[in-house]
Chain A
Amino acid sequence: ILNVEQSPQSLHVQEGDSTNFTCSFPSSNFYALHWYRWETAKSPEALFVMTLNGDEKKKGRISATLNTKEGYSYLYIKGSQPEDSATYLCAFTGNQFYFGTGTSLTVIP
């Protein structure tokens, strides 16, 4: 089983703050890195899929970067809003699919 690690495990920020979290994954046999947003009592929804080293993706206030050589990806949220509260999961795909355990974000109004 490969290690896909996310940090921090949980995060509380004030509304309006910007924040970021990390996904670390094996740098060998890399195929793609996914980010998902998972709200409580719902199912995960895809945010980004990145495949190339140096990829940067953006959707509204959320953006992500990818470094396949050193095995990490960052997810950034600019100007956090209460509706951003969710668990953010990354998933590494190589020969298999491995999800990290997620970063739980709570945005305090």
Chain B
Amino acid sequence: DAGVIQSPRHEVTEMGQEVTLRCKPISGHDYLFWYRQTMMRGLELLIYFNNNVPIDDSGMPEDRFSAKMPNASFSNLKIQPSEPRDSAVYFCASSFRAQGRREQFFGPGTRLTVL
């Protein structure tokens, strides 16, 4: 398996634009997580899905952020409109069964810069 795939790897956009980050989890994994890494707050969980259903989105910073998982092999995280403070590295991770008791496999991350 190719591991967790994220695209794009880098995104530079202007304030106010819509940003879409994409993730393909490892085949067969039934949990998918979106994280944001910043210098100030470290690694923060934004939202996670189980069997394509959002379970906990309490980490999503505000209504400008939304995430969907239309099927088991794809998820996207959208920011609309984007702001400079959204600049961060966004990681997607997936794991298999036993929520919390199996390791998560992380994608390479998307580095987002909002000008």
Query: Does A43 lie within 8 Å of B56, measured CB to CB?
Result: no
Q: How large is the interface on A (under 10, 10 to 19, 20 to 34, 35 or more residues)?
A: 20 to 34
Majority-rule SS of B interface residues:
strand
Query: Does A34 lie within 8 Å of B103, measured CB to CB?
Result: yes
Residue in chain A with minimal CB distance to B102: A49
Q: Which of B45, B102, B105 contacts A97 (CB 8 A)?
A: B45
Query: Does B100 lie within 8 Å of A97, measured CB to CB?
Result: yes
List residues of chain A with CB under 8 Å of any chain B CB.
Answer: 31-32, 34, 42-46, 49, 51, 89, 93-94, 96-102
Q: A46-B104, A93-B100, A96-B58 are in contact. List 17 more A-B contacts (CB 8 A).
A: A34-B103, A34-B104, A44-B93, A45-B106, A46-B103, A46-B105, A49-B101, A51-B101, A89-B43, A93-B99, A96-B56, A97-B45, A97-B100, A99-B35, A99-B42, A99-B43, A102-B42
